Amino acid sequence: MSKLIAVLLLVAGVIHLLPLVGVLGGERLNALYGIARDEPNLQILMRHRAVLFGLLGALLVAAAFLPALRSAALIGGLISVLAFLLLAWSAPVYNEALRRVVIADWIALACLLPALLLHLRGN
């Protein structure tokens, strides 16, 4: 079961690593989220967001191989995914690019929840 936890964490980790390309600048951010981000201050904030996703993704991937990191990675991943899904659910409408992010976060949640249950069972 530990190998299954590792696979689930790897999938969730890769999903969280994908936005890291936003660090490269406004064009990548526009492609990721389908929103023009020409305002320099917003670009700085969004690029920083990409770095934070990279850190969380790296933690999830590392936790796949280092069981001692699994509790922290699972908590961080679940908070991130659930917060975004709640925010998206509360919005009246969002674009196609964000719909893809919502789908990716549902996939991440579908990996993180069973990983958490297996982890708590001690497998």
**pLDDT by residue for the chain (123 residues), tens digit each?**
799 999 999 999 999 998 888 877 777 777 777 777 677 787 888 888 889 999 999 999 999 999 999 999 999 999 999 999 999 999 989 888 889 899 999 999 999 999 999 999 986
Return the residue matching tokens 């933690």. 59
Q: What residues does each domain of the chain span?
A: 2-121
Rounded CA separation 16/84 (Å): 12
Closest CA to 73 of 2, 10, 4, 3: 10
At residue 37, the pLDDT reads 63
What's residue 56's pLDDT? Answer: 97
Taking the C-alpha atoms of residue 60 and residue 45, their distance in angstroms, rounded to an integer, is 23
